[in-house]
Structure 1
Amino acid sequence: MTITIERLQELIEQDVTLHRMNDDELIQQVLPSLETLDQQLRAQLLAFLERFATNENINASRKERVILELISDDYLFYNQGMLNSNELYKRSYSMKALGFFIDAHNEVPFIDNATYDAIYRAVMLYLQLEEDVRSYGKEGGLVQPVAYAVDALEKLMDDERFPKEQSANLFRVVANKIACSSVLYIGDEKEVLSKTIMKLLKIHLDEKVIEDFFIRVPKFMTSQNEKLRSDEQLYLYKNVTGFLYVFHLYIYRRNMHNSLLKSIEHCLEKLVPSMK
């Protein structure tokens, strides 16, 4: 059973009633609605969950209960491995909703150590397992699971418990999402990937790790082109070069990491004929 737009609107408008909301309605009606293809209902649902996450009258245990539901097999990992299925919406928007709770915690801490560890493991696992990385679906509109997952990871970095020593491994997980040949990214993926890598640089990551990645990109692209269909070759080319242009702009605006800036330019020169 899912909730109606009218009931969600009522809950949003009467913010004072959120902390008195019945948990059964929340778990049995609100969260299952994350699978909806109705974009209007989804917008109302996300607005409600953001209000719920930031409402200081709602105690931590109730918020953590919702978090644990969101990262469970019933939501974030629901039918993981299914490609070109509308079930992606449930997984992707569970991740987006999770981001609201991480944001709320970063403002007013409430997530305990065990729950933080569970969130971190779930986000990392999802990034590695999700193969349906479409930005958009015909029936449900915007979906972009890569953008929502990488954004959640970036938000987790604001917590002192974030494992900074794992920055190089985290970069490799994120970098794997840059070199995508299955679809053409048309959402916020390039910007979110760039922002997250910049955050990794700020907190711990050695820029040489990124430079090594850029050195290998041209050869990787050549080797992949021998295996891919023409449309997949185009997706890979546009996703990689599109990211490089956006990331170059992020680095340029910071007016630092000059060596990294040159590495991006050299990589683009090898990939884009007009850059030579």
Structure 2
Amino acid sequence: MVGNIFKQVKYAKINMITQAKDEYELMTAEQLKVVLKELDFKKPETIKSKDLDQLIIQMVEHIGSTEAQLRDKLIYTSFYYFTKDGYLNHKQMEYLIETCLDQKHLFLGIGSTNDDSVFTRAFSTLVIALILDRDREEQFLSEEMALKAIESSILYLQKEEDTRGYVEEKGWAHSIAHGADLLAEAVKHPLFDLALASECLNTIGGCILKDTAYVDEEDERLIYAVIALLEKGMDENLLKEWIANLSKKVTDIKNKTGYTPYFFRKNTNLNQFIKSFYFRLLFLNDGFQTRQEIEGILKSQIIAD
């Protein structure tokens, strides 16, 4: 009974921010830029004097702006300091994660390619990751919301098809890299269940085998999520088998299609990933069996050539 009352009060506070949204006139991009440029995170008084309820609503409304300075340098950077330096209270962060997880943000236009909806999705992932990081220490999210964020981090990478990194004239989309950052934070969360490890690996494998050749270090970011799984206590045998199966899938593609661009894109992604992963494991003095598996894969490629 007490728990139910607490939950009702908690969501009433979130609803206060949601209701306030209707009371605020939406700022133009230029107006929001002026406000955000006034923030000086070396002078906390410039932050505390702002109506942060209003400001975070305005920021979320423009989170997918196609203007790189507003989206990346101002909105995301401000969200980073808001959460890391404790400017936002729990109800504000609850509002943010609930909003960013919805169909108008993390899953806006999911599955589409080469349109501007990717900016909303990709930058929503970063805000969710920031809040999961805070919740890992403070545990203010409801179990339901935390689990939704964890599950959504996997689902997002499974469904994201716009793999562009840097977009000319619009800046970074980097959806796979940002999604990998979110997945890594989800894995680190206390409520993450290791029973999801296999699904996470398969999701990462699906990203590696998407029909694109990554050029903006997406492979390095995906490795963070795998390392998080290892640090969480994942059985290394699962990792070794996953690497072997990934290699087999690429070999099967070669046997079926020959040396086509389709094969080369996937083979390039796999090789970049396992080479970087090998040295990450080596530096961590971890994953001996997996490193042996990678060595075998790379040696077989040399012999085949």
Q: How far apart, CA to CA, are the structure 1 residues paired with 2:298 and 2:209?
A: 14
TM-score by length of 1: 0.88
The correspondence for 1:9, drawn from 37, 47, 54, is 37
Residue 65 (structure 2) pairs with residue 36 (structure 1): yes
Q: How far apart, CA to CA, are the structure 2 residues paired with 1:21 and 1:137?
A: 33
RMSD between superposed Cα atoms in Å: 2.4
AA at the equivalent of 1:256? D
Q: How far apart, CA to CA, are the structure 2 residues paired with 1:57 and 1:48?
A: 10
Gaps of 5+ in 2: 1-25
Residue 167 (structure 2) pairs with residue 137 (structure 1): yes
Q: Which position in structure 2 is the counterpart of 1:67?
A: 97
AA at the equivalent of 1:213? W
Question: How far is the alpha carbon of 1:55 from its aligned partner?
Answer: 4.4
Question: How far is the alpha carbon of 1:12 from its aligned partner?
Answer: 4.4
Once the two structures are superposed, residues 47-69 of structure 1 have per-residue CA deviations (whole angstroms, 9 ceiling, x without a partner) of 11112223435321111001111
Question: How far is the alpha carbon of 1:33 from its aligned partner?
Answer: 1.6
AA at the equivalent of 2:78? F
Question: How far is the alpha carbon of 1:187 from its aligned partner?
Answer: 2.1
Q: How far apart, CA to CA, are the structure 2 residues paired with 1:157 and 1:105?
A: 13
Q: How far apart, CA to CA, are the structure 2 residues paired with 1:227 and 1:17?
A: 60
Secondary structure at the aligned position of 2:62 is classed as helix
Residues 78 and 15 from structure 1, CA distance in 2 versus in 1: closer, same or farther, beyond 3 angstroms?
Answer: farther
AA at the equivalent of 1:69? T
Once the two structures are superposed, residues 136-182 of structure 1 have per-residue CA deviations (whole angstroms, 9 ceiling, x without a partner) of 222322222111112112112232211122222222222221223x2
Q: How far apart, CA to CA, are the structure 2 residues paired with 1:241 and 1:45?
A: 35
State whether residues 184 and 239 of structure 1, in contact with CA within 8 Å, keep that contact through their aligned partners in structure 2.
yes
State whether residues 38 and 46 of structure 2, in contact with CA within 8 Å, keep that contact through their aligned partners in structure 1.
no
TM-score by length of 2: 0.81
Q: How far apart, CA to CA, are the structure 1 residues paired with 2:170 and 2:301?
A: 34
Residue 230 (structure 2) pairs with residue 230 (structure 1): no
Aligned-pair identity in percent equals 21
Q: Which position in structure 2 is the counterpart of 1:265?
A: 295
Gaps of 5+ in 1: none
Residue 111 (structure 2) pairs with residue 84 (structure 1): no
Give the total of aligned pairs.
273
Deviates more, 1:81-90 or 1:149-158: 149-158
AA at the equivalent of 1:36? S
Q: How far apart, CA to CA, are the structure 2 residues paired with 1:55 and 1:137?
A: 31
AA at the equivalent of 1:8? L
